[in-house]
Amino acid sequence: MYSSGASSRRPVPELPQSDFPRTPPEPDDSERSENSFPYLRLVWARRRLLYRVGLYALLASAAIAFLIPKRYETTTRLMPPDSQSSSGLMMAAAAMTGGAGGGLAGIANDVLGLKSSSDVFVGILASRTVADRLIEQFDLKSVYHSSHMEDLRKDLAAHTAVGVDRKSQIISITVTDHSPQRASAMAQAYVEELNKLVADLSTSSARRERIFLEGRLDKVNKDLEVAERDFSQFASKNTAVDVKEQAKAMVTAAAQLQGEMIAAQSQYEGLRQIYTDNNPRVRTIKARIDELQHQLDKLGGKGESSTDVESAPGDSFYPSIRKLPLLGVTYADLYRRTRIQEAVLEALTKEYELAKVQEAKEIPTIKVLDPAPIPDRKSFPPRLLIMLIGTAIALIVATVWIFSSDMWNNTDAGDPRKMFARQMLADVRADLSQVSKNGGSKDDSVGAGRKPEGHADFRDLK
């Protein structure tokens, strides 16, 4: 029941084979050669013109090539830093980018996207700090003829190429300049500034420890100087070289004097039993007893206050026994202070030297693989290439002009395209002549003295 409502399909009539469009056959090699032969004959006929154009183009290209200033290029190569120095490099890179106190190697990697420590070197070399130092060192304002720092940095970056070999991690610094000596010096200056910046920006624990120990050593040195000065002044004023040994010597001397005096007194009493007091022998023994007593009084400090430590010793070369206890206390205190400061200084000096060694291990030292030589051959301009390219371009333009002029001459004068081109060229010449005569951009009708519609002459306004 559905067949009555369905539309019937009619067969599409087939077109005969002759009614299909035919693709034009491709020209063979003989036809191509026949088509290109007239062009070759035309070029051969105008060969003198091509000779002249080629000669003039060669001379002009040679003049341009020799007028372009020479440029010299030199390259220095740096060894990649040691693996032990990677953390110090990452922290230096974080300091260069204004990182906070926690500039660890991993944070520097995340922030800077650095794959190795050689990339940190490249980042430091491309920093504004290095560029400004080189601009000031080599007076690049007069070299690049600019007074703006931003333009000078761009010029320096354009004359410098820093790259890293991803396989060997060797860093290359290439500098181009008009002076070979300056190019070599600038490449070496890059290495020196890199070494300085890495050393200055390293914030490792060994460096912080070394800075702390330097401050402590300065303070301990000052304290030791004060303690030694106080100790020496006290010892010199009180003739206290070594109180302990002096006490032993003085007690021994006093005991010996006491024994001699007792023996002399015994002898004196015995002589008095035999002789009178005016006897020379009795008087001699008496004088010896008095001298011994005087020496004992001097050693014992008779007549001196036991609390007066700072009193002048008079004509004695040593302190009295009465002063020795108090002198010993002060002497021991000053001596102990001096020894403590000496011990602290010795310990800090050892720690300071160890910190310096550790810092030297952590701070990477720039290792130059190939120093920058003074180039003896220019790198730019390629004069022969400029001459060849200039001559080739001139010959191509001359050839195109020959073909165009021949096509123009062979075109019928009644061709609408040729007539339009002539009319357009005549109009352009007329416009240019009117502009050159009037010296402005007025309309040609106004320049010819005619008033265009909608415009009034300025003389009508009077």
Other beta carbons within 10 angstroms of residue 252's beta carbon come to: 10
Least Cα distance to 335 among 269, 428, 243, 267 occurs for 243
Give the count of alpha carbons within 13 A of 439, CB side only: 0
**Under DSSP, is residue 48 helix (H, G, I), strand (E, B) or coil?**
helix
Tokens representing 361? 């291990």
pTM score of the predicted model:
0.51
Q: Under CATH, to which class is 72-202+363-370 assigned?
A: alpha beta
List alpha helices for 304-455, DSSP H. 324-362, 383-410, 416-438, 444-447
Length of the chain: 462
In contact, 256 and 299? CB cutoff 8 Å: no
The predicted structure's pLDDT at residue 327: 67
In contact, 73 and 174? CB cutoff 8 Å: yes
Instruction: Say which residue the tokens 């010096």 belong to.
Output: 185
Q: Which residues contact 92 (CB under 8 A, 6 or more apart)?
A: 120, 124, 197, 198, 201, 202, 203
Strands 368-370 and 72-78 come out as: antiparallel
**Under DSSP, is residue 368 helix (H, G, I), strand (E, B) or coil?**
strand
Tens digits of pLDDT across the chain (462 residues): 334 444 444 554 554 554 445 555 555 555 555 567 777 888 888 889 899 999 999 999 999 989 988 899 999 999 877 655 555 555 555 544 444 434 444 444 444 444 567 888 898 899 999 999 999 999 999 999 988 999 999 999 999 999 998 888 899 999 999 999 999 999 999 999 998 888 777 666 777 888 889 999 999 999 989 888 887 787 777 666 666 666 666 667 767 777 887 888 888 787 777 877 788 888 888 888 888 777 777 766 565 554 554 444 444 555 555 566 666 667 677 878 888 889 989 999 999 998 888 777 766 677 888 999 999 888 888 989 999 999 999 999 999 998 888 888 888 878 888 888 888 888 888 888 888 776 654 444 444 444 444 444 433 433
The predicted structure's pLDDT at residue 6: 42
Q: Which residues contact 213 (CB under 8 A, 6 or more apart)?
A: 348, 351, 352, 355
DSSP 53-85: HHHHHHHHHHHHHHHSPPBEEEEEEEPPPPGGG
Tokens representing 4? 């009555």
Per-residue pLDDT of 176-218, as tens digits, reads: 999 999 999 999 999 999 988 887 776 667 778 888 899 999 9
Residues 89 and 117: their CA atoms lie apart, in Å, by 6
**Under DSSP, is residue 38 helix (H, G, I), strand (E, B) or coil?**
helix
The predicted structure's pLDDT at residue 177: 94
CA distances from 270 to 161, 281, 287 (A): 113, 11, 15
Domain boundaries, the chain: 40-68+395-435, 72-202+363-370, 213-357
Strands of 106-257, DSSP E? 160-164, 171-177
The predicted structure's pLDDT at residue 456: 41
Task: Please say whether the dihedral angle defined by the alpha carbons of residues 206, 212, 216 and 221, taken in this order, is positive or negative.
Answer: positive
Instruction: Tell me the β-bridge partners of 73.
Output: 176
Q: Which residues contact 268 (CB under 8 A, 6 or more apart)?
A: 282, 285, 286, 289
The predicted structure's pLDDT at residue 316: 53
Strands 171-177 and 160-164 come out as: antiparallel
